[in-house]
């Protein structure tokens, strides 16, 4: 009997370093689904998602050519909790369907990873077997984000952080914590979790 595919979530606030952690899993041969990147693609390619966003947010949510108006969303959506919840309510179900389809192509792997900032908030963590929370000091997360996302202002980054769970709230709901504070080595932390998951797969 084939072991059931383990599904692992990697989450953390903006600038925590989810992507670098997931790159280590990728090097280990583990398929990684980047939910936030896929969400952006679906927001520009999925007709139902596009129509729903335009209906609730307005035509100004998109630039000519169907390109997402990121500046408009950054300036308006993250300051409006109700609008943010509306967009998440449109996008998260589409991402869940996309992930389900994607996961079927990787059943030969011991486990797969889903990377998402709002993994717990969206409810998608409920279908996953284990959750890994990547944590880092808020000041460092802000600095990393501003360096990476030169189009964002510090106010926008703080707005995003205020709409996400705190590290403490995420950690309570997680099975593993990875510290990414520029002092603690990342690879040993990931390898320890990887070994546990590989063993879980064989036992299962």
Question: What CATH number is given to the structural domain containing 131?
Answer: 3.40.50.300
pLDDT exceeds cutoff 90 at 175: yes
Sign of the alpha-carbon dihedral angle for 74, 79, 83, 84: positive
What is the reported pTM? 0.88
Q: CB–CB of 96/3 below 8 Å? A: no
In a domain, 143, yes or no: yes
pLDDT exceeds cutoff 80 at 79: no
In a domain, 172, yes or no: yes
Question: What does residue 64 show for φ and ψ, rounded to 5 degrees?
Answer: -55, 140
pLDDT over 90 percentage in the chain: 69
**pLDDT confidence of 142, banded at 50, 70, 90?**
very high
* Total domains present in the chain: 1
pLDDT, tens digit (0-9, with 9 covering 90-100), for 84-123 = 888 889 999 999 999 999 999 999 999 999 999 889 988 8
Q: Which domain holds residue 124?
A: 6-37+96-203
In a domain, 168, yes or no: yes
In a domain, 61, yes or no: no
In a domain, 23, yes or no: yes
């Amino acid at each position: 009997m084939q072991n059931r595919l383990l599904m692992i979530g990697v989450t953390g606030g903006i600038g925590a370093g989810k992507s670098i952690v997931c790159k280590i899993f990728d090097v280990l041969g583990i398929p990684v689904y980047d939910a936030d990147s896929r969400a952006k693609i679906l927001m520009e390619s999925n007709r139902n998602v596009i129509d729903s966003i335009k209906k609730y947010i307005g035509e100004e949510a998109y630039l000519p050519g169907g390109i997402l108006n990121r500046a408009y969303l950054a300036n308006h959506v993250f300051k409006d909790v109700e609008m943010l919840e509306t967009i998440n309510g449109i996008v998260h179900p589409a991402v869940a369907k996309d992930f389900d389809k994607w996961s079927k192509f990787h059943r030969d792997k011991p486990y797969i990873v889903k990377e998402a900032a709002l993994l717990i908030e969206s409810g998608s963590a409920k279908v996953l077997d284990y959750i890994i929370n990547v944590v880092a000091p808020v000041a460092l997360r802000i600095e990393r984000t501003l360096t990476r996302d030169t189009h964002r202002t510090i106010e926008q980054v703080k707005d995003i952080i205020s709409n996400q769970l705190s590290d403490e709230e995420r950690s309570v709901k997680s099975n593993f914590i990875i510290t990414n504070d520029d002092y603690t080595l990342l690879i040993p932390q990931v390898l320890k979790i990887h070994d546990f998951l590989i063993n879980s797969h064989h036992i299962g």
